Structure 1
Amino acid sequence: MSDETSPLLSWLAAQEGAMLQALEAMVNTDGGSYDKAGVDAVGAQVRAFCEAHGLAVETVPGARFGDCLRAVLPGEGPGRPRGNRAENIVLMGHRDTVFPQGEPARRPFRVEGGRAYGPGVADMKAGLVMNMFVLAAFAKHGGAPGPLVGLFTGDEEIGSPEGRAVIEREAEGARVVFNSEPGRPGNGVVTGRKGGVFMLMEIEGKAAHSGGNFEAGISAIGELAAKITAIHALTDLGRGITLNVGLVSGGQSVNTVAPHAQGQIDLRYVRPEDRAEVMAAIEAIIARAHVPGTRARLTIKGEFLPLTQDDAARRLFDLYRDASEAPVEGVFSGGCADSGFTAARGAPTICAVGPVGGAAHSPEEWLDVATLVPRAQALARAILRLDSAGL
């Protein structure tokens, strides 16, 4: 039986209503990255669905952030020849969102004009729902060319501080990885992403009355301003390197020379080798005191690795493109994602295979409802054809 006449694909074709029902429940559940209880409540929905469809679900507990869940469908027999020795076909996604607690109550899930709206509807709860239904389709109808693993993590939006180790372990046994971040308008998928380093610089000065004892003060804010200017000057748009100090704070009162200040730095880069060069330049800026007497320290708060495309990843993109009924474009994104961790471990990876959406991280975030089923079917076809593609 060809995959085009597979009952698996026919079953998925009839699931749009059920997908929307699962998506509504998920979007209407709090799940900000720092809300462990909320993220785990979304995980309970994932678990209930997967177990109801015959998948075993393993929990990898998170100490501070959402647990990681592994929904597993074992392989059905001896594997056939393929391009690497790893077994697992991994469908990956994160349950956390960027929104504060109570956001779903303020603007709950709704569908209007063919688009669904709500916090995290595209980034990336629709991708989670799609992965759940694809796993269920293979559990119901068979045909998977190897073990399937649905990896549902809980802290991607803050750099996966606990999830990264779980993801990298999963990548070690991954034959291929499909990361179901939102698809791009025009049916795009992401074949490359920037890496990112998120840092905190903290500066200490000395307090003094700004009128009566000004000369005794050492301004941490003055030092912060000089460092911000120097850090921003490291931006090199031609090489895809950007530096942004996006949050600043400091000072004690308007009539006090500032004894402390801090700024949060966002570094983005394309080539893995660029990281060391730019980090060395940042560290030199932190070490130099523009305002004599100030002291500064730098802390890395989170990090993503770039998603790079090797030969196996290019073949995976070709496979996915051919598996989609609509034309697919591979795009490069300046945003970061967990797919960089799996690619860095050598697992052929493609990102943003989830349903198409846009305006992520904003009140206008939307999902194209009509892409739920076609994107699920494209993913299922790609899985069915892995052997024929030598992956």
Structure 2
Amino acid sequence: MPTNAETEITEWLASQKDAMVTLLREVVDIDSGSYDKAGVDVVGTRFEKHFADHGISAWREQHDTFGDAIHALVAKPGSNEKPILLMGHRDTVFPKGEVARRPFSIEGNRAHGPGVADMKAGLVMNVFVAAAFQRFGSAPCPIKLLITSDEEIASPSSRPVIEREGRAARAVYNSEPGRPSGNVVTGRKGGVFMRFEVFGKAAHSGTSFFDGVSAIGEMAHKIVRIHALTNADKGITLNVGLVAGGQSVNTTAPHAEGQIDLRYVDPADRAATLAAIEDIIATPTVSGTSAKLHINGEFLPLVQSEGSKHIYDGYRAAAKDVGLPNVAGEFTGGCADSGFTAAVGAPTICAVGPVGGNAHTPQEYLDLDSFVPRAQALALAILRTRVEAAG
């Protein structure tokens, strides 16, 4: 039988669907690409207003380049327990002006718009769950919220904040979108994002061809060797997804560059694969060329610990109790901030947000019918959470 607190909170959340959609519309209709600090911070201001309206303490951790980190706390008076952390990012992959081209819209039971599922709906869900606990005073322990600003570019400013909050948390729920299947995510690949430059020598390709050294020619050799490091059996993939270079069609290319995406499952494979890439970059095939490798950013893999499995089991049971009987855990090649909290020892579950799909595309959608039950499932899981972070 549900407790009084469970009934109060789940019934109140059921009454808030229209308010959730209204807030979602407001934050989706604000451009907030990762490099658009002003836009990202405006989204943060709207969430701060929600916290203020519901009597929840909130504050900013400022950053000069990227959006500020937004913190909030639903306190449990007299408690010195570790908090549960609800986490999510408010930046998107879309450029400024995307909202004007395709603002928030609803067709049937689906909402559309830039970042609607990835992951502004998860943030809306988090702040309404927090409001429910603040309203009824039934939090089993303090509940912290963290709204970050740059996940889509590997969290260059947010990673140290996430790791610090993860170390202090007893459990972490990251509200990335639920899978189209309705599942949550219990494992993710790690990712390293790199840029390499190749240097050659310019020469007129008609009159002085043999005086030149082609950086593009050398880059082609390196791309083939980098791609050959892919190991499907181990879940290691390499992709050179961007290339540029050259001066003109009738000049041997003095410079070229490419960008590399490395994904891996086993943390031990990161070092070995990175060492192989470094060797490829350092070893020329075309005489007279040289090259440099730069790491732009990276995510750590989400590896399920015993503590993480425990909160996953609790979430799954809570989901069943609110009418979602088929929620399971999935592994995905996509990366997320949940890998950072898992790596510092916090029991972590990811993709507990409302269900959506086609992230990073104009076809991105959110299943509006999943808003309330996913919020209820998260609230029940929190009410029943009794997990200490691993030491």
Q: Is the 8 A contact 1:72 1:148 kept in 2?
A: yes
Residue 78 of structure 1, CA deviation: 4.0
Query: Which of 155, 161, 168 lines up with 2:156 in the alignment?
Result: 161
Deviation at 1:5, TM superposition (A): 4.9
Structure 2-normalised TM-score? 0.96
1:266 aligned residue: 261
SS in 2 for 1:332: strand
Runs of 4+ in 1 over 4 A off after TM superposition: none
SS in 1 for 2:353: coil
- Residue by residue over 1:143-190, the C-alpha shift from the partner in whole angstroms, topping out at 9 and shown as x without a partner, is 111111110000000000000010001011010000000001222000
Shift of 1:51: 1.4
Give secondary structure in 2 for the equivalent of 1:33.
Answer: coil
- Residues 309-335 of structure 1: CA deviation (Å, up to 9, x unaligned): 011100110000000031211000100
CA RMSD of aligned residues (A): 1.2
Q: Match for residue 75 of structure 1?
A: 76
For residue 250 of structure 1, the aligned residue among 241, 245, 248 is 245
Question: Which residue pairs with 1:23 in the alignment?
Answer: 24
Take 2:197 and 2:134, find their aligned partners in 1: how far apart are those partners? Answer: 52
CA deviations 1:188-234 (Å, max 9, x no partner) are: 00000000000000111100000000001010000100000000000
Residues 6 and 380 in structure 2, CA contact (< 8 A), matched pair in contact too: no
Aligned partner of 1:374 in structure 2 is 373
Query: Aligned match of 2:169 in 162, 171, 174?
Result: 174
> Taking structure 1 as reference, are residues 162 and 5 closer, same or farther at Cα in structure 2, changes over 3 Å only?
closer
| Counterpart amino acid of residue 343 in structure 1 | A
For 2:364, the equivalent position in structure 1 comes to 365
Q: Spell out the pairing of 1:41-80 with structure 2 (5 A cutoff).
A: 41-78=42-79
Structure 1 portions without partners, runs of 5+: 80-85
- Tell me the equivalent position of 1:331: 330
**How far, CA to CA, are the matches of 2:104 and 2:329 in structure 1?**
30
Q: Does the CA contact (< 8 Å) of 1:343 and 1:349 recur in 2?
A: yes
- Contact kept? 1:76, 1:144, Cα under 8 Å: no
Counterpart-to-counterpart distance in 1, 2:27 and 2:89: 12
Query: What does the per-residue CA deviation read over 1:120-142, in whole Å, with 9 as the maximum and x for residues that have no partner?
Result: 00000000100010011101011
Normalised to the residue count of structure 1, the TM-score between the two structures is 0.96
Question: What displacement does 1:76 show?
Answer: 3.2
Contact 1:3–1:384 (Cα < 8 Å) also in 2? no
Query: Which amino acid is the alignment partner of residue 162 of structure 1?
Result: S
In structure 1, the residue matched to 2:312 is 317
Gaps of 5+ in 2: none
- In 2, Cα distance between equivalents of 1:62 and 1:130: 25
CA distance in 1, matches of 2:225, 2:181: 39
In the alignment, is the contact (CA less than 8 A) between 1:27 and 1:125 conserved in 2?
yes
Q: Quote how far apart the aligned CAs of 1:6 are.
A: 2.5
Matched, 1:143 2:132: no
Secondary structure, aligned partner of 2:127: helix
Aligned letter for 1:352?
A
Q: Secondary structure at the match of 1:322?
A: helix
Q: Deviations over 1:329-364 (max 9, x none)?
A: 100010000000000000000000000000000000
Name the counterpart of 1:11: 12
Q: Supply the distance in 2 between the matched residues of 1:266 and 1:390 (Cα, whole angstroms).
A: 35
Count of residues paired in the alignment: 384
Question: Where does residue 83 of structure 1 map in the other structure?
Answer: none
CA distance in 1, matches of 2:79, 2:276: 52
How many angstroms apart in 2 are the aligned matches of 1:227 and 1:107? 40
* Aligned-partner Cα distance in 2 for 1:358–1:235: 27
Deviation string 1:66-108 (CA, Å, 9 cap, x unpaired) is 11010111123447xxxxxx60100000000000101011101
In the TM superposition, residue 3 of structure 1 has moved relative to its aligned partner by 5.5
Partners of 2:153 and 2:342 lie apart in 1 by: 19
8 A contact 1:107–1:118 mirrored in 2: yes
Q: Contact (CA 8 Å) 1:68, 1:163: kept in 2 or not?
A: yes
CA 1:390–1:277: 2 relative to 1, 3 Å: closer
